[in-house]
Amino acid sequence: MEPSKRSIDKAAQEMISRMAKLGQQNAWDRLDAQLPQCGFGKQGICCRICSMGPCRISKKASAGVCGADVDTIVARNFLRMIAAGVSAHSDHGRTVAEVFLATAKGDAPDYRLKDTTKLHKLAKELGVQTAGRSTQEIAADVGEIARAEFGKPEGTQLMTRRAPKPRQEIWQKLRVTPRAVDREVTESLHRSTMGVDQDFRNVLLQASRAALADGWGGAMLATELQDVLFGTPYPGRGEVNMGVLKTDEVNIIVHGHEPILSEMIAAAAQDKELLAEAAKVGAKGINVAGTCCTANELLMRHGIPIAGNFLNQELVIATGAIELMAVDVQCVMQGLTEVAKCYHTKLVTTADKGRIAGVEHVSIEEKTALKTAKELIRMAIANFKNRGEVDIPKDKEKVVGGFSFESINYMLGGRFRASFRPLNDNIINGRIRGVAGIVGCTNPKVPQDFTHTTLARELIKRDVLVLTTGCATIACGKQGLANPRTALDLAGPGLREVCEAVGIPPVLTCGSCVDNTRLLVSCCEMVREGGLGEDISELPVAGACLESISEKAIAIGQYFVASGLLVVFGEELLPISGSANVSEYLFRGIEKEFGGHWAVESDPVKAAETILAHIESKRDALGINKAKERKLYDMADRRALAVE
Q: With respect to ligand XCC, which residue has the nearer C-beta, 272 or 353?
A: 353
C-alpha 89/C-alpha 215 separation (Å) is 9
Question: Is 127 exposed, middle or buried (CB count within 10 Å of its CB: 0-12, 13-18, 19+)?
Answer: exposed
Q: With respect to ligand XCC, which residue has the nearer C-beta, 549 or 642?
A: 549
Stretch of 23-31, 449-457, 491-499, 546-554 lying at the interface with ligand XCC (CB under 6 A): 546-554
Q: With respect to ligand SF4, which residue has the nearer C-beta, 55 or 316?
A: 55
| φ, ψ (nearest 5 deg) of residue 125 | -60, -40
Task: Sort strands 46-47 and 55-56 into parallel, antiparallel or unpaired.
Answer: antiparallel
Q: With respect to ligand SF4, which residue has the nearer C-beta, 192 or 287?
A: 192
Q: Is the Cβ–Cβ distance between 487 and 481 less than 8 Å?
A: yes
45 Cβ partners below 8 Å, 6+ apart? 56, 57, 70, 73, 74, 578, 579
190 in contact with ligand SF4 (CB under 6 A): no
Judged by beta carbon distances under 5 to 8 A according to partner kind, the member of ligand SF4, ligand XCC, none in contact with residue 441 is ligand XCC
Judged by beta carbon distances under 5 to 8 A according to partner kind, the member of ligand XCC, ligand SF4, none in contact with residue 48 is ligand SF4
Q: What share of the chain is helix, strand, coil (3-state, %, to 5)?
A: 55, 10, 35
Q: With respect to ligand XCC, which residue has the nearer C-beta, 86 or 292?
A: 292
Q: CA angle 118-123-126, nearest 5°?
A: 125
Binding characters for ligand XCC, 315-354, by CB under 6 A (x = yes): ----------------x-----------------------
Q: Is the Cβ–Cβ distance between 126 and 145 less than 8 Å?
A: yes
Residue type, 534: E
Judged by beta carbon distances under 5 to 8 A according to partner kind, the member of ligand SF4, ligand XCC, none in contact with residue 266 is none
Query: Nearest-CA neighbor of 570 among 591, 540, 601, 549?
Result: 601
Q: With respect to ligand SF4, which residue has the nearer C-beta, 55 or 304?
A: 55
> What secondary structure letter does DSSP report for 63?
B
**What are the DSSP calls for 438-470, one per residue?**
E-----TTS-BTHHHHHHHHHHHHTTEEEEE-H
CA distances from 557 to 275, 516, 552, 565 (A): 44, 10, 9, 9
What is the distance in angstroms between the CA of the first residue and the CA of the last residue of the chain? 28
Judged by beta carbon distances under 5 to 8 A according to partner kind, the member of ligand XCC, ligand SF4, none in contact with residue 413 is none
Residue type, 516: N
Judged by beta carbon distances under 5 to 8 A according to partner kind, the member of ligand SF4, ligand XCC, none in contact with residue 470 is ligand XCC
Which of 128, 213, 292, 456 is in the footprint of ligand XCC by CB under 6 A?
Answer: 292
Nearest distance, CB of residue 57 and ligand SF4, angstroms: 9
Q: Would you say how long the chain is, in residues? A: 644
Q: With respect to ligand SF4, which residue has the nearer C-beta, 41 or 54?
A: 54
C-alpha 266/C-alpha 309 separation (Å) is 18
Nearest distance, CB of residue 311 and ligand XCC, angstroms: 8
Q: With respect to ligand XCC, which residue has the nearer C-beta, 97 or 474?
A: 474
Long-range contacts (CB closer than 8 Å, 24 or more residues apart) made by 355-363:
356/327, 356/332, 362/326
Nearest distance, CB of residue 464 and ligand XCC, angstroms: 21
Footprint of ligand XCC on 451-470 (CB under 6 A): 470
Judged by beta carbon distances under 5 to 8 A according to partner kind, the member of ligand SF4, ligand XCC, none in contact with residue 250 is none
Which of 191, 301, 433, 552 is in the footprint of ligand XCC by CB under 6 A?
Answer: 552
Binding characters for ligand XCC, 495-534, by CB under 6 A (x = yes): -----------------xx---------------------
C-alpha 9/C-alpha 475 separation (Å) is 8
Nearest distance, CB of residue 306 and ligand XCC, angstroms: 11
For residue 34, give the H/E element and its range: helix 27-34
Which of 440, 506, 511, 540 is in the footprint of ligand XCC by CB under 6 A?
Answer: 440
> Chain-centre distance of CA 532, in angstroms?
26
Footprint of ligand SF4 on 349-408 (CB under 6 A): none
Q: Is the Cβ–Cβ distance between 403 and 522 less than 8 Å?
A: no
Query: Nearest-CA neighbor of 520 among 162, 156, 94?
Result: 162
Stretch of 22-30, 185-193, 548-556, 621-629 lying at the interface with ligand XCC (CB under 6 A): 548-556
Count of chain residues binding ligand SF4 (CB under 6 A): 14
Judged by beta carbon distances under 5 to 8 A according to partner kind, the member of ligand SF4, ligand XCC, none in contact with residue 471 is ligand XCC
Binding characters for ligand SF4, 37-66, by CB under 6 A (x = yes): ----------xxxx-xxxx--------xxx
C-alpha 339/C-alpha 325 separation (Å) is 12
Which of 466, 549, 561, 568 is in the footprint of ligand XCC by CB under 6 A?
Answer: 549
Count of chain residues binding ligand XCC (CB under 6 A): 15
CA distances from 181 to 96, 147, 361, 611 (A): 15, 10, 29, 31
Binding residues (CB under 6 A) for ligand SF4: these are: 47-50, 52-55, 64-66, 68, 73, 194
For binding to ligand XCC (CB under 6 A), which residues are involved?
A: 257, 292-293, 309-310, 331, 440-441, 470-471, 512-513, 549-550, 552
